[in-house]
Structure 1
């Protein structure tokens, strides 16, 4: 078997094992939550008979192992269950919310990924000079400030004081693309600032590590300009760690938007999860946790596969 095929198959198998392990942790985590689900649904005035009937209806009297496999097999078939609080189908509700979250993450990625790579290349080109120091200082400052604080600062100065954008990022299907982009401008700006710093610094570090190689010195001795050396020789050979950090930050854009969505009241997965955590809607919490885990594992698996494929020693074994 070709080494690349073998390694990719191993990564796929490992990703599946990690997803199953994550599903076990998610299910067990919801089981050990304090309180009674039936009691939280019916309230303190519920009679013992009503509580017993609801527990029987929800399957809470069955062994935990049976409930786990019922939930897992249903999730694999696209059946995530029904929300306890409103009786709506979870898969349908999550489908709309996940689309909104991916829309927000997509536009944040479109801006942050190219900008981070460009700033990383620029910082290497002017290493230890004022552009490098300025970029490093700004990115360090942005990564040190909590994202919710950046969000509230933008709301106050940009939305309230200047009135450029709305402080509430509400979108719906009747809005045009420009109206949606105007509505999500502030949360996209916050997400861009948060992930930009990490990606830029990792890009800079990866390229600087490659710049110490002997073939880079050979390219410089041939008389190539610094920009050509970086673009043609250093960047292609630093692509593996750059792809890894980009994928990690893309996973954050999808999984870690909970705080941003709550701050800007954005109708995405994060807001949906927080709303139902407060209501102790266990099936919704389990479904959201499983989807977040799947997205994170898949993106990390893609990063591993791209790193494998970008290695010429694996593509062309002797």
Structure 2
């Protein structure tokens, strides 16, 4: 397991280096001149050139990348052109807020989604299976913003039980903090629950038809032991992948949800930076989201190896 983990960490380092290069090159190719943006549209050419020299924008790209990468290794993500302050505290604060959403939603989705998927697979063709399948179809077909608007109308406008948007720091009280999280978390759960439940059901049905499960039943093992100890461990492999991908997606890809609920997370911060062409903030945010995706996949690989030792041995040999 140690060798397997070490190999995956080396791969992770290589991927992050490549991702940092791609992020830097892509953001450099974006339309617009940072120096001109800072100086203003009526600034003279001399002023723009002076700002470019001050920021080092006149130097070759490899020199600019080296300086940027060196700063990241020392924990310096640069300064925001729009907010005129250090980027690191901004992105860390937004990351923590998005992590709260991601961890809360994924925990609920993992428990409910896997539970419903197992229930539907075990009772295949019965009423409970049909109900889970019907709910899954609805969940996949309905777009995410619809759930958000529906929840706002029902619980915010009509019942007036929960705030319809914004964010309250935990210093304002746990109850106020939790109330602002409920609707975004429920929306994320509704978006992901259907896919996890259907995938778990499909994978579980395939595993229940394998020979080793039939052999376990033939030996007279209790049904719960057959399902949870023998079948579920192997059926969870594709579900782990989906949960890991969804974790990275939540951190940087739920711009719609964070915008609808005015939630100041990482996705909304990225949208803010793009709208204002804040190049250092764009670079830092995208790199952080990419790192989150890579770490989520690393966790998925480690869970694969923990659940199925055959995968650990085969990957270590490669």
TM-score band, normalised by shorter chain: over 0.9
Alpha-carbon distance in 2 for matches of 1:37, 1:65:
18
Instruction: Report the equivalent of 1:295.
Output: 292
CA deviations over 1:87-126 (Å, ceiling 9, x no partner)? 1100011121111111121221222211111111111121
Give aligned pairs, total: 314
| Residue 192 of structure 1: how far off its partner (Å) | 0.6
* Distance in 1 of aligned mates of 2:150 and 2:36: 40
Select the residue among 101, 106, 123 that pairs with 2:103: 106
Q: Distance in 1 between matches of 2:311 and 2:266?
A: 39
**1:116 corresponding residue in structure 2:** 113
Question: Secondary structure at the residue paired with 2:172?
Answer: coil
Q: Deviations over 1:27-65 (max 9, x none)?
A: 111111112112223321112122112111221111111
| Pairing partner for 2:195 from 165, 183, 198 | 198
Q: Does 1:30 align with 2:35?
A: no
Give 1:183 shift: 0.9
Does structure 1 conserve the Cα–Cα contact (< 8 Å) formed by 2:99 and 2:251? yes
* Counterparts of 2:190 and 2:123, CA distance in 1: 22
- Range that drifts further, 81-90 or 132-141: 132-141
Cα contact 2:170–2:177 (8 A) shared by 1: no
Verify the 8 A CA contact 1:74 1:80 in the aligned structure 2: yes
In the TM superposition, 1:2-81 aligns within 5 A as: 4-81=1-78
Greater shift after overlay, 198-207 or 77-86? 198-207
Contact 1:125 1:227 in 2 (8 A): no
Whole-Å Cα distance in 1 between the matches of residues 64 and 156 of structure 2? 47
Q: Map residues 177-216 of structure 1 onto 2, 5 A cutoff.
A: 177-216=174-213
SS at match of 1:267: coil
Q: Distance in 1 between matches of 2:109 and 2:192?
A: 7
Structure 1 match to 2:267: 270
Q: How does 1:139-158 map to 2 (within 5 A)?
A: 139-158=136-155
1:193, distance to aligned residue in structure 2 (A):
0.9
Aligned pairs for 1:203-242 (under 5 A) are 203-224=200-221, 226-242=223-239
Aligned equivalents of 2:66, 2:125: Cα separation in 1: 57
Tell me, in whole angstroms, the C-alpha distance in 2 between the residues paired with 1:76 and 1:258. Answer: 28
Counterpart Cα distance in 1 of 2:264 and 2:312? 44
Question: C-alpha root-mean-square deviation of aligned residues, in Å?
Answer: 1.9
Q: Distance in 2 between matches of 1:275 and 1:120?
A: 38
Q: Which residue does 1:175 correspond to in 2?
A: 172
CA distance in 2, matches of 1:35, 1:312: 51
Give the distance between the partners of 1:313 and 1:27, measured in 2 at CA: 39
Gaps of at least 5 residues in structure 1 are none
* Cα separation, 2, equivalents of 1:279 and 1:130: 53
SS of alignment partner, residue 145 of structure 2? helix
The aligned counterpart of 1:136 is 133
Q: CA deviation at 1:301?
A: 1.2
Give TM-score, length-normalised by structure 2.
Answer: 0.92
1:254 corresponds, among 251, 262, 274, to 251
Residue 309 of structure 1, aligned match among 306, 311, 314: 306
